[in-house]
Structure 1
Amino acid sequence: MIHQESLEFLKDLAANNNREWFLDNKERYDRARENVIEFTGQLLTEMHKIDPGIDEALDPKKCVMRIYRDIRFSKNKTPYKNNFGISLPTTGLRPGGAEYYLQVQPDNSFIGGGYWTPDASHLKAIRQEIDYNAHDLKKIIDDKEFIRLFGDFRKQEQLKTVPQGYAADNENIDLLKLKSFVAWHKITDKDICKKDAAKQIADVCSHIYPLNVFLRNALA
């Protein structure tokens, strides 16, 4: 579970996002990070049960993202993120594909999965899979439990125009115009601090798993 102390650190960091404060509170950061790493290890074990593509022996330290922001090209010059990001890839640590992502942040924690902003070649392959096998995708995203947990899958950012190679009157044009293919579910502070939080999160991800299988098949 995530400790309340870890969430309190993130709250204070958000209110004091500067190097001096961070250095003065480095021990708090170290404790919070160790808590998140330990939780990630628990999560990997639970996630492997619902998605065999996740390596439960993966080093959890490598799944926890850096808290330091890259501010070189950003107008926001605050040096630190106000959350812990955890990447749970299904193909080792290689980026670019269907995976899961957990964000730990006070009042804004969530678990997500799918494929966010695929590159051009992957996007083309996913659209082709939708064109050929839209029924399989719609069976997943139109399931009542999927909608309850994640909302309307179609209401993600879409192209303003029809993608090249497809007709405007294609019966699946709303899916073909999607720029990302993700599902996410908000987690309350109370729930992420529960002893069985890792299992509960994995249970939510069991409903994302079929989506990731569809996306992986598209890229196979």
Structure 2
Amino acid sequence: MITRSTLDFLADLKANNNREWFEANRPRYQQASADFFDTIAQFIQILATFDEGIAEVMPDPKSCIMRIYRDVRFSKDKTPYKTGLFAYVSKGGRKGPLAGYYLHLEPGNSFGGGGLYMPEASVLAQTREAIAARFDEWRTIVQATELLDNFPEGVQPSGALKRAPKGYEESNPAIEYLRYKGYFTQRFFSDAEVLKSDFTKQLGMCCRSVMPMVSFLNSAIESETP
């Protein structure tokens, strides 16, 4: 589980984002990494109770967790480390095209949810086609009370077009969502919430409410993905 020392390490890393400090504090990083690994392992177990795709695959937590090292080759910001820990759980793998569930852990800025963030063009086209063809089903899913109770801002876009995408009319009933470049939900958690013993369960309950949307998106993607 996440402990105060996990958050303290990340806060100190943000204030001392350099290789010398990191190496001197590597044992603290290893403990924070172990705490996060255990949390994601529990998260996957909870997801498997309501998402059949996750249950079939039961991904290795290690494969779901992003490296803490930043790729600075094309960035003006040369700080070597990320200041948060991130995991993405999907039946298609962290680097695959499918929708899934995620957790970002960072002091004062932790959040989680599910969906499909900034998919490649071909995947986005498939999801748009499904939303347009099955809009009544999609609208029922994204306007469900349980989803909105857990994610009051509802489904969010990872960017959006100002006009209708090619092949669709502005008069299309689904046009609001067809302009989206991705579909995800996000809920922020305070440090106090993250440190509770039942945090992973709370996160899992939130993700259960977004599972129908994840399943809808994946059905659209898998219908065309070999």
TMscore range, shorter length? over 0.9
One-letter identity of the residue aligned with 2:142? I
Residues 195 and 76 from structure 1, CA distance in 2 versus in 1: closer, same or farther, beyond 3 angstroms? same
In 2 relative to 1, CA 64–94 (structure 1 residues): closer, same or farther, beyond 3 Å? closer
Counterparts in 2 of 1:94 and 1:153: CA distance versus 1, 3 Å: closer
Q: Counterparts of 2:174 and 2:59 in 1: how far apart (Å)? A: 38
Residue of structure 1 equivalent to 2:147: 146
* Pairing partner for 1:170 from 160, 169, 172: 172
Aligned: 1:213 with 2:189? no
**Residue number in structure 1 paired with 2:69:** 68
The letter for the 2-side match of 1:183 is T
Percent pairwise identity: 37
TM-score, normalised with respect to structure 1: 0.94
Tell me the TM-score normalized by structure 2: 0.92
SS for the counterpart of 1:208 is helix
Alignment-derived partner of residue 124 in structure 2 = 123
Distance 2:37 2:147 in 1: 28
Partner of 1:15: 15
Q: Which runs of 5+ in 2 are unaligned?
A: none
Give a deviation string over 1:126-149, Cα, whole Å, max 9, x none. Answer: 111011101111111112332232
* Counterpart contact for 2:64–2:93, Cα < 8 Å: no
**3-state SS in 2 of match to 1:207:** helix
* Matched pairs, number: 220
Evaluate the alpha carbon distance shift between residue 107 and residue 133 of structure 1 in structure 2; reply closer, same or farther with a 3 A threshold: same
Q: Give the aligned partner of residue 52 of structure 1.
A: 52
Contact 2:193 2:199 in 1 (8 A): yes
Q: Deviations over 1:143-193 (max 9, x none)?
A: 233223221325652102220011112121111100111111111211121
- Return the alpha-carbon distance in structure 2 between the equivalents of residues 87 and 153 of structure 1: 18
What secondary structure is seen at the aligned counterpart in 2 of 1:27? helix
Partner AA of 1:48 in structure 2: A
2:104 aligned with 1:114: no
